[in-house]
Amino acid sequence: MQHPFLRTLSPLGNWLSGLTWLACVALGPCVAVAQSAPATPSVAPIKLIVPFTPGTGIDLIARTLGPKLSLKLNRPVVVENRVGASGNIGTEAVVHAAPDGNTWLVSVNTLVMNRSLYPTLSFDPVKDLMPVTLTSWGQLLLVTHPKTGFTTAGDLVKSAKARPGHINYASPGVGTPHHLSMELFKNTAQVFLTHIPYRGTGPAVTDLLGGQVDAMFLPIHVALPHIRSGRLIALGIGSDKRHALLPDVPTLAEAKAGQVNVDMWYGVFAPKGTPADTVALFNREINLILKSEETQKAFQTQGMDPAGTTPSEFGRVVERDANRWAQLIKTQQIKAD
Comparing 84-88, 217-221, 325-329, the range with the smallest average pLDDT is: 84-88
In terms of DSSP H, where are the helices of 96-253? 110-117, 153-162, 177-189, 201-210, 220-228
- Average pLDDT on 251-262 reads 90
Comparing 109-113, 157-161, 176-180, 254-258, the range with the smallest average pLDDT is: 254-258
Torsion over CA of 217, 221, 223 and 228, rounded to 10 degrees? 150
The alpha carbon dihedral of 141, 147, 152, 154 has a sign of negative
Backbone angles phi, psi at 71, to 5 degrees: -70, -40
Comparing 21-30, 72-81, 94-103, 266-275, the range with the smallest average pLDDT is: 21-30
Q: What is the pLDDT of residues 27-41, one digit of tens each?
A: 444 444 344 444 444
Q: What is the pLDDT of residues 113-153, one digit of tens each?
A: 999 999 888 899 889 999 999 999 999 999 999 999 999 99
Contact 265, 110 (CB under 8 A): no
d(CA 298, CA 159): 39
Mean of the per-residue pLDDT values for the chain?
87
Q: What is the pLDDT of residues 222-254, one digit of tens each?
A: 999 999 999 999 999 999 999 988 999 999 999
d(CA 182, CA 258): 12
pLDDT at 13: 44
Instruction: Starting at the earlier edge strand, list the strands of the sheet with 103-108.
Output: 77-81, 46-50, 103-108, 264-271, 129-138, 304-306
In terms of DSSP H, where are the helices of 36-77? 57-73
d(CA 173, CA 336): 9
Backbone angles phi, psi at 128, to 5 degrees: -95, 10
pLDDT at 18: 46
Q: Pick from 191, 182, 188: which is nearest to 158 by CA?
A: 191
Sketch out the chain's domains with CATH numbers: 46-138+264-331 (3.40.190.150), 140-237 (3.40.190.10)
